[in-house]
Amino acid sequence: MANNKAKMILEKDFKISEIDNRIYGSFIEHLGRAVYGGIYEPGHPQADENGFRQDVIEMVKELQVPLVRYPGGNFVSGYNWEDGVGPVESRPRRLDLAWRTTETNEMGTNEFMKWAQLVNADVNMAVNLGTRGIDAARNLVEYCNHPGGSYYSDLRISHGVKDPYKIKTWCLGNEMDGPWQIGHKTAAEYGRLAQEAAKVMKWVDPTIELVACGSSHRNMPTFADWEATVLDHTYDHVEFISLHQYYGNRDNEISNYLALSLEMDDFIKSVISIADYIKAKKRGKKSINLSFDEWNVWYHSNEADKKIEPWSIAPPQLEDIYNFEDALLVGCMLITLLKHADRVKIACLAQLVNVIAPIMTEDNGPAWKQTIFYPYMHTSVYGRGVSLNPIISSPKYDSKDFTDVPYLESTAVYNEEHETLTIFAVNRHLEEGLELAVDIRNFNGYEVVEHIVLENDGNLKQTNSAKGTPVAPHSNGNAKSENGGVTAVLPKLSWNVIRLAKRN
Ligand code: AHR
């Protein structure tokens, strides 16, 4: 029996917001083996007539990814989108200065859009505001979204795509605050450029939504001033400001590592404050929402990446192999995004295949699921509806960088249409199970139908591989409906999904 006890109250009317499904988005960059050898491997036994790996398509569908950001990332800041359209045999090979590789341009906009349709995802298209600018950006919108009768829309039609893609969400460049970025800019330089690019992109298609670049991470020296300056310029023209953040357990301190989602929470709150400050300053009516369009764990592959032969084609890069503890942090980060569903309307797990990804592939071999695949899949599949605001009381601990870290990280999603209620929970306790009692108030007739658990027998560094997936969830959790509520013991260091449905 657990000595650790936590309580949670769920009420239908304690709502944060309807969840925008785009928070379960992901990301494919022309980087490493994400595109070549990941989603696209002609000659592979599982490749379809387009060269797309069907085993990968099936896994992406399992994740129900609603939105995929493309084509970068740092790559986009040196990318000429024109290189990737038209006859494949006449496309140029280019040096990709962002990742010091060679880009063959075999895949480009139309191929990627076809793949996105096959996995039922929308695309979050990024434009190059590094080496290019307003002209290339507005031309790409015209190429993708204008029906016909103009140079670029007719060019698309001549490339075999009659109907416009109607891409709704667009990123105005990538990490323009970072000195590593091709065409790095000051906040004022970027703010002006983003404002003018946004203006004309919307003149081409007024239905699009735009994301301005925020900081590359919370510890950037320009953080906060960057957001304020960029939004000062772009407030009238954009709907979103972006956030990026990656974490790693570099000091091998699990308690501290699992608390990093508290920092993510703080980052989100800070960016909301800055966006609201600009709204107030401008006496504005609209709130700028948040696009957390790069987030994940990223550190395992840092050393290996230093050894990559420059200018190779699609080398293994950023191939983090995730372990069990990474899956727990990813679960905590997903819960954190859900807690901010009123302002975080887009989020992209970076990335999707082979590059810091939930899905890995072997060249000419099988695809397999990383540990982080599971919390991402569970929230994407069961976390649609209304994000509830639970009242939680949990015992707490202190770690190296954090105080008052709750052992219980949890939230819940109510789907009125399907009459389901899903509790997502992580027990951060290293040694003890957490006894959870949930008061479900006015969810009359709701009962536990499944308690999914991702746990591990002591080896926090356990990884999966093409040979097997020792880190995989089971449905033998002990949650049960009791006295109009729910009780469960969440095993030490575990990810839990407690699914309730209304009894007929
Ligand atoms: O996702 C990997 C890289 O991380 C992206 O290209 C860049 O935007 C970020 O620094």
Give me the phi and psi of 328, to 5 degrees please: -70, -40
- CA 20/CA 14 separation, integer angstroms: 18
| Residue type for position 388 | L
Q: Check if 294 has its Cβ closer than 6 Å to any atom of ligand 1.
A: yes
Give how far Cα 20 sits from Cα of 111, 261, 386, Å.
27, 20, 9
CB 387 within 8 A of CB 335: no
Q: Check if 296 has its Cβ closer than 6 Å to any atom of ligand 1.
A: no
Q: Which of 175, 409, 432, 455 is catalytic?
A: 175
Q: Check if 103 has its Cβ closer than 6 Å to any atom of ligand 1.
A: no
- CA 111/CA 449 separation, integer angstroms: 41
Q: Would residue 175 show up in a list of annotated catalytic residues for this protein?
A: yes
CB 360 within 8 A of CB 368: yes
Q: Which of 227, 294, 325, 455 is catalytic?
A: 294
- CA 252/CA 274 separation, integer angstroms: 33
Nearest atom of ligand 1 to the alpha carbon of 350: 1
Give how far Cα 404 sits from Cα of 255, 330, 398, 440, Å.
12, 20, 6, 26
Contacts for 208 with CB less than 8 Å, ≥ 6 apart = 141, 145, 167, 168, 169, 170, 201, 202
Contacts for 280 with CB less than 8 Å, ≥ 6 apart = none
- The per-residue pLDDT for 104 is 98
> Consecutive sets of 10 residues in the chain, 504 residues long: mean pLDDT of each?
84 97 98 98 97 98 98 98 97 98 98 98 98 98 98 98 98 98 98 98 98 98 98 98 98 97 98 98 98 98 94 97 98 98 98 98 97 98 98 97 98 98 98 96 95 94 97 98 93 98 89
- The per-residue pLDDT for 457 is 87
- The per-residue pLDDT for 1 is 44
Centroid of ligand 1 to alpha carbon of 426 (angstroms)? 27
- The per-residue pLDDT for 162 is 98
- CA 231/CA 274 separation, integer angstroms: 9
Probe target for ligand 1 pocket from 127, 175, 301, with the most ligand atoms within 8 Å of CB: 175
Q: Give the number of residues written for the chain.
A: 504
- The per-residue pLDDT for 2 is 53
Q: Check if 350 has its Cβ closer than 6 Å to any atom of ligand 1.
A: yes
